[in-house]
Chain A
Amino acid sequence: MRRDLPIILLLAWLLAPSWAAGGPVQDLIDRARPGETVIVPAGHHREHLKIDKPITLDGHDAATIDGGGEGIVIEITAPDVTIRNLRITGSGSTVSGEPCAIRALAGPVVIEHNTIDDCLFGIDLRESPGAIVRDNTIIGKDLEEARRGDAIRLWWCHESTVERNRVRRARDLVFWYSEGLTIRENRVEDSRYGLHFMYSHHTVLSRNDLRRNAVGIYLMYSNDITLEHNTMIANRGASGYGIGLKDCDNIIVRDNAMLANRVGIYIDNSPSSVDATGLLEGNTIADNGTGILATPNTHDNVFTHNALIENEEQAAAHGRGTLHLNSFSRDGVGNFWSDYPAFDGDNDGIGDLPYEPRSLFHSLLSAEPNLRIFLHSPAQQAIEFTARVVPELRPEPVLVDPAPLVDPPAMPEGPRDGRRAPMLALGSALILVAGGLGGVLTHGQIRTPTYRRDAQ
């Protein structure tokens, strides 16, 4: 029996951290009085923490809490807890139990200036109203999209603020059953849904920057939301949208930029209530595969002052149908369409003829999406030409803008690069190639009569 004792002790020592809290940082937390600030000593701490009283945990940008690839790294069960300036890493990675960097089961809490990496879920707040999540950097585990967790999830957290966070390679930033949120200036890249609202009403989302996600902003079953000054670029998932609205009432989408997404804005039965409306005003929708895509039952949205620029397809109904249940002007002011052949006799900035896009190829596309493979080919031009020549073939216009703008409303300046050198160099290089080739091949010709050497 005595012989086994060292082994048992060794095992106990090895397993102790995962059994119960009891590392040095947890000891500091346990000894702290409510309201105190616990300074985490600089260095790497392989611990799981439980915080059950209102304290502030501050890492001074020098301390790392490492869960060692297991479970929840920091769990908060008391209100008025602040966690700041920490690096948190190494949560579990199996979906069961939803392991995360920080989970709060009470509120309010403040989570700020932390760096989170290698965690399945990032910040998971459950019933923590009034929470503040700001200035955190969250980089998800290097997993395929379907196996990743949410970078930030709020569940029943009314009146919370999520701002200036930077997120990369996660699943969603998702907001469930939370009202009156402030969501601003977050940047989400290479994730699934940049900002995802489920049953969360009365919120303003502003100045967020969402790039290369499957979907930029996706609102579902959420009402009375304003989206302002957000930027959605290159969100190109297989069903990717800059903005998606599903069964949402009274949404205002104003002054956003949707650029180079698969679809700029997708509207699925929003508004869904009879007396509700939607307003899209002053947005720049450019270079997307489809600018505006809406299910044919979508109704009572007003589009005004938007600039639709060079979208491969400016507007389309999802499946067959039209967008005639919506209006594309308000008080005699419509939208700018870059493919509108402007005709403005009275110089009032409003085109004299309505904008009525009726592309035969696009109407074929909505019947048979596989045909999109023939985009950008002469055959597409041939089809459009035929439809122009044979009016019987022209489809019904997908929408009518009775007062299209002749000039685009003030546009955000794109990331244009003013240098000319590379393109000029390329042009000169091409000329050199042409000249060189000509020189080499004509040189012998001029000096020696044809085939003289061969003939000898």
Chain B
Amino acid sequence: MGEAAGAVEAEPVDEAAGVLEPWEVFRQEKDGDPMRHGGSVMAPDATLAVHYAREMYGRRQESVHLWVVRRADIHDLADPDLLQPPLDRSFKKPGGYVMREKLAAAREASGQQKPRANKGDR
């Protein structure tokens, strides 16, 4: 046991006993893949939630990594005012820059041909 005051373990958060709640399961199919939502399990605590997740989403070796998160701990953001404001954000996207006509004008002005197979131009 460490002597420093900081080494004292914080009291575990009192999880309500006897209450089943949903836990969301995220799974990684193979190394390097993103974690994707798989589904959910009902459990009274993290230990059982992880156990159920393993049974439901890993028993066929179809996952290399699982995340199990209490549904109530997920912070949800779906506010369209924040995520989909009615403003032109095309300057933040490659598709927002269409210069075909300006390029054609530039070539015409300089007497150049259109280069072949230059995929960078739009």
Q: Is the pairing of A and B real?
A: no
> Could you tell me which B residues sit within 8 Å of A by CB distance?
none
> Could you tell me which A residues sit within 8 Å of B by CB distance?
none
